[in-house]
Amino acid sequence: MALLALSNVKFCKLKKELFLDEIKEIIKYHQKHRNLTRIAYKSAWLFLINRLYKDKSLETVIVNELHFGRSAARELKELTKCVNWKREKEEEDGRGERKEEVVLLGWLNSLEFFFRFCELRNGGYVELFSSIVEVLRASRDDFRGISNQCIYLFDKAAKNKAVQIDFLLKSGAIDIILEEIHRLRLNDEAAHECLQFFKNVSKRLKRKKKDEMKEVGKKPTKKELFEKLEEEGYEDVIVSFCEMFDLLRQKYFYAYSSNVSIYFVYI
């Protein structure tokens, strides 16, 4: 309960000496002995991730010392197996969310802050993205709130300079976003995030680098990505849509012009 309460302490600035050693000890001990409940462990991480907003020096501790990427990936995989994805929807009387779903959403919320504020390269990204892909596949039929959050996370990750586009390819993130474009309607909340994701990926790949060796290294990734888009019939659509993206957007960041379906020939 103490860790759960701490996880709700968000934007106020705290001196590291008041919490860092103790939180590190709690997380490391759990990683070795698995002594905490799922909600307590998630809460310890969420409290630490929330501190990134005010203190960027925590990046090294979170990424290199405590290995957040691997920890989050493992927890998401375990929770994906625990949630009853096929259960019938219960009436909205307060019993609709189960404990596992609440904890899972807590991890996804932690990842939103992580991708937004942590710009340190992380070798565990491919494993982490693969876990988010698994959650998205499991939740997209009956748990749109969870699957939409997964899509939103990929959009945030694509904006993060520490995330290599190659990681998104290897993990299957780009493949599943392409699948979601087939499934979604333009008035679905996640439609904007899917398109924004490809817009950000495109920007990242087109950005000129002073280092020519980096540009050479990106070419195979560019080729593989554009081949996927071309195979699905989206290359021209997404590239040209970027040019009028802001004009078509209306409100709530995901609503579009009533005649946009004419523009998307696959609709």
> Are 133 and 157 within 8 A, CB to CB?
no
Q: What's the pLDDT score for residue 252?
A: 42
Q: Which amino acid is at 35?
A: N
Residue 239 counted as domain residue? no
Report the alpha-carbon distance of residue 88 to residue 240 in Å, rounded: 41
For the chain, give the number of residues: 267
Most confident of 8-22, 34-48, 212-226: 34-48
Residue 264 counted as domain residue? no
Q: 202 or 171: whose pLDDT is higher?
A: 171
Residue 174 counted as domain residue? yes
Mean local confidence (pLDDT), 43-57: 91
Report the alpha-carbon distance of residue 240 to residue 90 in Å, rounded: 42
Q: Tokens standing for 38? A: 């799922």
Closest residue by Cα to residue 258 from 203, 209, 187, 171: 187
> Are 52 and 118 within 8 A, CB to CB?
yes
Q: Which amino acid is at 161?
A: K
Q: Number of folded domains in the chain?
A: 1
Residue 23 counted as domain residue? yes
CA dihedral 159, 164, 169, 172 (to 10 degrees): -70
Of 23-37, 44-58, 122-136, 244-258, the range with the lowest mean pLDDT is 244-258
Q: Tokens standing for 207? A: 């950005």
Report the alpha-carbon distance of residue 261 to residue 53 in Å, rounded: 39
Closest residue by Cα to residue 233 from 258, 267, 203, 210: 267
Q: Tell me which DSSP letter residue 233 carries.
A: T
Residue 246 counted as domain residue? no
Taking only the tens place, the pLDDT of each residue in 150-185 is: 999 999 999 998 898 889 999 999 999 988 887 876
Residue 230 counted as domain residue? no
What residue has token string 């968000």?
10
Q: 53 or 71: whose pLDDT is higher?
A: 71
Residue 234 counted as domain residue? no
Report the alpha-carbon distance of residue 50 to residue 13 in Å, rounded: 10
pLDDT surpassing 80 at residue 146? yes
Mean local confidence (pLDDT), 30-41: 95
Could you give the 3-state DSSP secondary structure of residue 256? strand
Report phi then psi at 208, rounded to 5.
-75, 140
* Other CB atoms within 10 A of residue 77 CB: 14
Of 45-59, 151-165, 250-264, the range with the lowest mean pLDDT is 250-264
Mean local confidence (pLDDT), 253-257: 49
Residue 110 counted as domain residue? yes
CA dihedral 32, 55, 4, 44 (to 10 degrees): 0
Confidence class for position 71, pLDDT limits 50, 70, 90: very high
Could you give the 3-state DSSP secondary structure of residue 162? coil
Q: What's the pLDDT score for residue 13?
A: 78
Q: 104 or 198: whose pLDDT is higher?
A: 104
CATH code for the domain of 11: 1.25.10
Domain ranges, residue 20: 2-84+98-206
In the chain, pLDDT over 70 holds for what percent of residues? Answer: 75
Taking only the tens place, the pLDDT of each residue in 83-93 is: 888 764 554 44
